[in-house]
Amino acid sequence: MGLRLLAKTLFLSLSITILLPASRGADSDPLQDICVAKMEGDVTVNGFPCKPMSEVVSDDFFSSAISMEGDTNNPSGFQVTAGNVLSFPGLNTLGLSMNRVDLAVGGINPPHVHPRATQLGFVVKGEVLVGFVTTSNVFYSKVIKAGENFVIPRGLMHFELNVGHDKAFEITVFNSQLPGTVSAPLSLFGSKPPIPTDVLTKTFLVDPNIIDLIKSKFGN
């Protein structure tokens, strides 16, 4: 009887171990070989409807979206070039996407979260300080050099800062066809319509003039 109970326990543990990774996936598993996104149309689904098979071509599974260097001539000195389902329809239902992140010297990809995906990054060029904060308010960070990886758990606030003497370039991969990005500064100070100044003054414990000044930097 003891052996039978042990066998059942082991079987249950193995079953949970096998099933858990699938349940944690950001996107649902596909139910067919391919489902190239049909971007136009009135159908609304959690993702995109499939293009008719008669219209699918080889180029649907090809993208050069991240092949070109991004323009970092902006106040933050960074540019993200997205290779998600919006620019690469062949990714629809496949549960992955890829971005290119270019950083000027001193450039920063400001604190942000990806609500629908874990991020795996690979630095191609330069030195990038990567950091994220857990829900326990613990900060983890490391300088990542060319040829090295880093991972950001799903939904956690993180940033990338070029700490080298030259431009930096990294590739980030996500377990979602459309991971989404919520930028902390843009969401707080550049939302449309704007968050009431009183809410932000009480949140950050600063004078309203400071909040108004920051809002003006983001178009509010």
- 114 near 181, Cβ under 8 Å? yes
Which pLDDT value is given to residue 40?
83
90 belongs to a structural domain:
yes
The answer to whether residues 198 and 100 belong to one domain is no
Are both 112 and 166 inside the same structural domain?
Answer: yes
114 and 208 together in one domain: no
Question: Lowest-pLDDT range, 46-50, 71-75, 105-109, 115-119?
Answer: 46-50
pLDDT of 23 higher than 70: no
- The verdict on residue 203 lying in a domain is yes
What is the number of structural domains in the chain?
2
| Among 26-35, 77-86, 87-96, 114-123, the least confident range | 26-35
DSSP structure string for 111-174: EEE-TT--EEEEEEESEEEEEEE-TT--EEEEEEETT-EEEE-TT-EEEEEE-SSS-EEEEEEE
- pLDDT, mean of residues 185-203: 96
The Cα 6–Cα 3 span in angstroms is: 5
Residues 160 and 197 in one domain: no
Q: How confident is the model at residue 14 (pLDDT cuts 50, 70, 90)?
A: low
What pLDDT band is residue 116 in, cutting at 50, 70 and 90? very high
What value does the mean pLDDT take over residues 110-124?
A: 96
Q: Are residues 148 and 195 in the same domain?
A: no
Shared domain for 175 and 207, answered yes or no, is no
Q: What pLDDT, on the 0 to 100 scale, is given for residue 31?
A: 74
Domain that holds residue 202: 190-217
Same domain? For 148 and 84 the reply is yes
Predicted confidence (pLDDT) at residue 216 exceeds the cutoff of 80: yes
Please indicate, yes or no, whether residues 58 and 83 belong to a single structural domain of this protein.
Answer: yes
- 3-class secondary-structure state, position 24: helix
Question: Do 108 and 202 sit in the same domain of this protein?
Answer: no
**111 and 132 both lie in a single domain:** yes
The reply to whether 145 falls in a domain is yes
Whether the Cβ atoms of residue 76 and residue 109 lie closer than 8 Å to each other: yes
pLDDT (tens digit per residue) in 141-189: 999 999 999 999 999 999 999 999 999 999 999 999 999 999 999 999 9
Tell me: do 173 and 204 sit in the same domain: no
Q: Is the pLDDT of residue 121 over 80?
A: yes
Shared domain for 209 and 112, answered yes or no, is: no
Q: Binning pLDDT at 50, 70 and 90, where does residue 8 land?
A: low
| Those residues with Cβ within 8 angstroms of residue 217's Cβ, 6 or more apart along the chain or in another chain | 75, 189
pTM of the model: 0.82
CATH of the domain at 57: 2.60.120.10
pLDDT at 12: 57
Choice between 44 and 108, residue whose per-residue pLDDT is larger = 108
* Rounded average pLDDT over 18-41: 71
**Distance between first and last Cα of the chain:** 70
Confidence at 25, pLDDT banded by 50, 70, 90: low
